[in-house]
Structures are given as C-alpha cells and as structure tokens.
C-alpha cells in the first residue's frame, strides 16, 4: 500500500463529516471498553460475595449473629448481603411491633424484593449503553461510508477522464468509517449478551435466596 493510501493518511485527509463520524465511533469504543472492564470486575465480585454469603448463611449460624457480623463489617454491604440485611431488619422491626406472623413475613418479603430490584438495577447500569453502541455503530459507520463515497463521485464531475486513482482514496476513507463502526459494535454486542446472561444468573440466585429466606422467616415467626 502506498503512503497516500495509508490508514493514517486517509483519516487525516478525510472530509470533516467522515472525521467527525470516526471520532464519535472511536469515543464510543473507548467508553464501551471502559464499561466492559468495569462490569466484568463488578459481576465477578458480585458472584464471589454471593458464594461467600450463601456458605455462611447455610452454615447454621444464627441469623441475628450473621446480621450483626455484616452490619459491623467495614465494607459497605451490597448484593445479596444488602437484600438479607434489609429483609431481616424489617422482620425484626415488625416483631418488635408485635405484628402477626403473616404480616412480619410479608413485610420482610416486600422489602427484600425492593432491595433486590435496586441491586439488579445497579448491575444493569451501562448495559443499555453497550446495547446502543452495538446497534447504532454500524449505521453511524455506514453513514460515514455513504458520505465519503458520495464526495468521491462528486469529485469525478471535475475530472475529464475518471480513473481508479481518483476514486480509490475517497472510497478507502469511506470504508474506514465502516470498519471503525464494526470495531466499536462487535465487542459491545458480545459484551452486552455476556453480561445479560450473567445478570439473569445473578437475578435467579437472588430470587431463590429470597424464597428460601422467606421460608426460614415463616418458621421463625411461628415458633
């Protein structure tokens, strides 16, 4: 490839619209990769916390002792620990009010469902951005391609004899926009599908825990 058709040369000499499209796509790609690394770490920590908590929860430890241990921890509770804390706190509060066993359990269950929704919403943050990048980047890149090709054919109007040398640079710079669009879209789509699957897995673990915890609270309420 000649220097005139090098990728860097084509980007520098592209039209303003095509350069603007490339800038948007590159910015979207950088932000996407930042979110990808962050969400990967967040989901890994969430599953680790879930595994550790479930082992403690089913170890036969007294619930009040487990509640006290988590609340006294120097780390902020989140995920399944937050669901447990909110549920047990509400259950204890209703017991102090001497509410009926049914009210105690139902109130704790409602609070846990609210906490679970908030935790899942927190995990879902930035996923819509990845979905948007994955779905729109190819079209944004295609817009840059169409614009570049259009300019190339418009330039032919000023040339008496059209040759490949007149058309190739414009078409090449236009195709770079499509390539950058795919470069931004493919990782975003793959990551969105991966994290969505992980989110469904976490949601299933949370829902199962709430159901199991409700059963324990029912036994404790009627004891």
Is 148:167 a contact under the CB 8 Å cutoff?
Answer: no
Taking 70 as the threshold, does the pLDDT of residue 160 lie above it?
Answer: no
Give me the pLDDT at residue 4, please.
Answer: 53
- 200 vs 135, 195, 197, 220, CA distance in Å? 21, 9, 5, 30
Is 130:192 a contact under the CB 8 Å cutoff?
Answer: yes
For the chain, give the percent of residues with pLDDT over 90.
56
Domain ranges of the chain: 3-222
Give me the pLDDT at residue 177, please.
Answer: 87
Q: Which residues contact 159 (CB under 8 A, 6 or more apart)?
A: 166
Q: Which residues contact 66 (CB under 8 A, 6 or more apart)?
A: 56, 57, 84
d(CA 47, CA 175): 42
Q: Dihedrals φ, ψ of 15, to 5°?
A: -70, 165
Give me the pLDDT at residue 196, please.
Answer: 95
- 64 vs 44, 84, 106, CA distance in Å? 28, 11, 19
Q: List, for residues 93-149, the tens digit of each pLDDT value.
A: 998 888 888 999 999 999 999 999 999 999 999 999 999 999 999 999 999 888 888
Which sign does the torsion angle of CA 145, 146, 149, 154 carry?
negative
d(CA 59, CA 141): 55
Give me the pLDDT at residue 161, please.
Answer: 62
Give me the pLDDT at residue 186, please.
Answer: 95
Give me the pLDDT at residue 176, please.
Answer: 86
Q: List, for residues 3-25, the tens digit of each pLDDT value.
A: 455 666 666 767 788 888 889 99
Band (72; pLDDT cuts 50, 70, 90): confident
Q: List, for residues 31-70, the tens digit of each pLDDT value.
A: 999 999 999 999 999 999 999 999 988 888 888 888 898 8
Q: List, for residues 163-216, the tens digit of each pLDDT value.
A: 666 666 667 777 888 899 999 999 999 999 999 999 999 999 999 999 999 999
d(CA 67, CA 151): 67
Give me the pLDDT at residue 2, please.
Answer: 45
More confident residue, 84 or 17: 84
């Amino acid at each position: 490839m000649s220097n005139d058709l090098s990728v860097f040369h084509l980007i520098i000499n592209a039209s303003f619209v095509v350069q603007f499209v490339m800038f948007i796509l590159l910015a979207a790609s950088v932000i996407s990769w930042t979110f990808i690394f962050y969400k990967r770490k967040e989901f890994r920590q969430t599953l680790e916390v879930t595994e550790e908590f479930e082992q403690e929860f089913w170890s036969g430890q007294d619930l009040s002792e487990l509640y006290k241990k988590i609340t006294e921890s120097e780390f902020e509770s989140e995920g399944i620990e937050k669901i447990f804390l909110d549920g047990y706190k509400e259950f204890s509060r209703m017991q102090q009010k001497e509410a009926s066993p049914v009210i105690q359990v139902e109130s704790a269950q409602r609070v846990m469902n609210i906490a679970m929704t908030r935790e899942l919403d927190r995990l879902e943050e930035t996923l819509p951005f990845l979905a948007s990048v994955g779905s729109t980047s190819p079209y944004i890149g295609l817009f840059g391609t169409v614009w570049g090709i259009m300019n190339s054919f418009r330039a032919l109007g000023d040339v008496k004899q059209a040759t490949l040398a007149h058309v190739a640079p414009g078409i090449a710079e236009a195709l770079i926009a499509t390539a950058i669009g795919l470069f931004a879209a493919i990782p975003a789509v793959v990551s969105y599908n991966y994290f969505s699957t992980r989110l469904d897995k976490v949601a299933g673990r949370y829902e199962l825990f709430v159901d199991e915890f409700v059963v324990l609270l029912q036994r404790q309420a009627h004891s």
